A and B are shown apart, each in its own frame.
Chain A
């Protein structure tokens, strides 16, 4: 946990519970992290690990309906995101924190021209005329390298390819110069060749605009490309947090280790891809002890004890009860 003073966003003990037939079940729990201005934090994990759920809770998309409740704090520019009124939340969304989603194919409204959709978001937060908003929208489209932006602003989403749609969504996100961007698997649904372009664009935007970013992905390779720090999530908890280079060089948690090993690489000496046997537990099956233990090859009986995320060096934390002693064991 980095010190909260210079952080742009500082999340403490975020917990989201959902009512499953009368039983309040934590889906995400004890999640703490912080993001400094201009920094990119990767939230990594398998699907269902709670990375998107955490982001959605911060944006107020989860935890505010009936049958859901959220607790903890998320201090952003001196305000607690989890305790904003609906109106405050609306004026924050897209203005201070913007979000880019996973599915560019379905994330744009098919009934409105893209220029209009970008402009709509601008007019919510800036005191401009419709014509000025349109100009700003075209500017934003230019910024994300949509060729011929003035003409394309008059097109409907279905006239764009997936990559171009994701550019439009990024243009929407940056149109109001937010200080933070949450990118939820922004490249997962795209062709491999387009993925690289979008990643490059996001990196460029982040540097040009000084954006802080939470980058949600299940792809360790992407993390290495874009992120400064990463937080690995498993079964609704952060299991390891740290600097990207340090973590990649010496993962502290067995789960991180397995994730990195599962990463395909040209230089890999192994003949076949690594994989992690079993699947992550569902929220209703979460245990008090280490949640990864059932799938962990370094498991001991003591792994059934409650876990905490311990800071092992400045900016690095680990949830494994065995610390790094598991590393001495033979990998096989």
Chain B
């Protein structure tokens, strides 16, 4: 094609020549890798900023950090020990780099209270919180998507009204209060579920599950409600699209259109909300764990605040932030994979 012939040929007639050849079709993969790379880099940078923030938490301590952290009745020796451990006599960036050096090697310092490595404490609590968070996010996704689809297909009818009221209330209710009410009703009153504590899945899978139900539901309430709203609005918007009418004109059933077409089109924004809610859930689990006396990261965090155990607190906060970064990264990737337009 030379530029001169361009003028004589209308764009429409040239159209067929623009078809991508099989060779060109490899580009999306390259694009995917490139966007993966840039997102990975961004996540790493964010990790850097997050460590700086977590490290900077110690700067918020009023007065002399060592004195303050040692608490009442501290001996000069214990104050000196803390000063030594935190390296408080050195300039801040040296402190940061030596702390960072530990962090990347998995050394988060030693707990002031337990006198054991923070990383060990975290690892012991991690499966508990992960079990709870996973239970909650699965429950939230199941409820949110089913109730949202139901509402979207029955707009203005009873099922829509009920689920919408439920989710509006769900978003406004503190999760730990939901937990308390569930606790009162289902374990204190009706004794259906155990009130407090946690059993590892390796010890007894049924007990593990039973212990997770109430805190899991409490934690899932807000996320499920948020997902229901999102599903309802995006699915009902999709159902009014021209391409749904096309599919119906082909003879596809309403059910098929709903579960295949609407769900796949609604998936990218839903994935984003799931990611967002997963992050919120991690934070929310702190108080819910306290209500159900679940020995997870949340109770560890609360204890570390009460005990002024700075290394442990920093460790929990950092670990949570890492999870959020990972969740966001995964959400971005899932969004890209699900959305053909972004992919190319």
Contact = CB atoms under 8 A, between A and B. Distances in A.
- Genuine A/B complex: yes
Interface of A: 59, 61, 86, 90-95, 98-99, 101, 103, 106-112, 117, 120-121, 124-125, 147-148, 151-152, 154-156, 158-159, 161, 163-164, 169, 172, 191, 193-194, 197
Contacts of A124: 250-253
Nearest to A91: B251
A125 B251 contact: yes
Interface stretch (B12-20, B114-122, B172-180, B205-213): B12-20
B341 A107 contact: no
Interface of B: 10-13, 15-16, 19-22, 25, 241-254, 261, 264-265, 267, 338-341, 344
Given A90-B251, A121-B251, A152-B19, A111 B340 contact: yes
26 contacts: A61-B248, A86-B254, A90-B251, A90-B252, A93-B251, A94-B250, A94-B252, A106-B242, A108-B243, A108-B246, A109-B247, A111-B340, A121-B252, A124-B250, A125-B251, A147-B19, A161-B15, A163-B12, A163-B15, A169-B246, A172-B250, A191-B11, A191-B12, A193-B10, A193-B13, A194-B12
A101 B12 contact: no
Nearest to B19: A148
A81 B339 CA distance: 38
Contacts of A169: 246
Given A112-B264, A163-B12, A163-B15, A107 B245 contact: yes
Given A92-B251, A121-B250, A151-B19, A107 B243 contact: yes
B325 to A, nearest CB: 28
B12 A106 contact: no
In the complex, which of the residues B15, B25, B264 has the most CB atoms of chain A within 10 Å of its own CB atom? B15
Contacts of A107: 242-243, 245-246
Nearest to A194: B12
Contact of B250 (A86, A93, A110, A111): A93
A194 B242 CA distance: 21
B261 A109 contact: yes
A113 to B, nearest CB: 8
Contacts of B246: 101, 107-109, 169, 172
A193 B15 CA distance: 12
A146 B138 CA distance: 44
Contacts of B252: 90, 94, 120-121, 124
Contacts of B264: 111-112
Given A124-B250, A193-B13, A101 B340 contact: no
A91 B241 CA distance: 22
A101 B251 contact: no
A120 B259 CA distance: 14
Contacts of A197: 12
B245 A147 contact: no
Contacts of B241: 106
Contacts, number: 103
Contacts of A191: 11-12
A36 to B, nearest CB: 23
Contacts of B10: 193
In the complex, which of the residues A98, A107, A148 has the most CB atoms of chain B within 10 Å of its own CB atom? A107
Given A120-B252, A193-B11, A109 B265 contact: yes
Contacts of A95: 251
B251 A94 contact: yes
Contacts of B22: 151
Contacts of A106: 241-243
Contacts of B20: 151, 155, 159
A106 B244 CA distance: 10
Contacts of B16: 147-148
**Shortest Cβ-Cβ A-B pairs, 3 listed:** A121-B250, A94-B251, A94-B250
Contacts of A110: 243, 265, 340-341
A91 to B, nearest CB: 6
Nearest to A197: B12
A293 B220 CA distance: 64
Nearest to A172: B250
In the complex, which of the residues A110, A111, A163 has the most CB atoms of chain B within 10 Å of its own CB atom? A111
Nearest to B24: A151
A48 B247 CA distance: 24
A101 B247 contact: no
Nearest to B247: A109
Given A109-B261, A194-B12, 17 more contacts: A61-B248, A90-B251, A90-B253, A91-B251, A98-B250, A108-B243, A108-B246, A109-B244, A109-B247, A111-B264, A121-B250, A151-B21, A151-B25, A155-B20, A159-B20, A159-B344, A191-B12
Contacts of A103: 242
Contacts of A152: 19
A108 B246 CA distance: 7
B62 to A, nearest CB: 55
Given A106-B241, A112-B261, A159-B344, A93 B11 contact: no
Contact of A101 (B15, B19, B245, B339): B245
A91 B264 CA distance: 24
A128 to B, nearest CB: 14
A56 B20 CA distance: 36
B159 to A, nearest CB: 15
B341 A156 contact: yes
In the complex, which of the residues B19, B249, B252 has the most CB atoms of chain A within 10 Å of its own CB atom? B249
Nearest to B263: A111
A155 B341 CA distance: 11
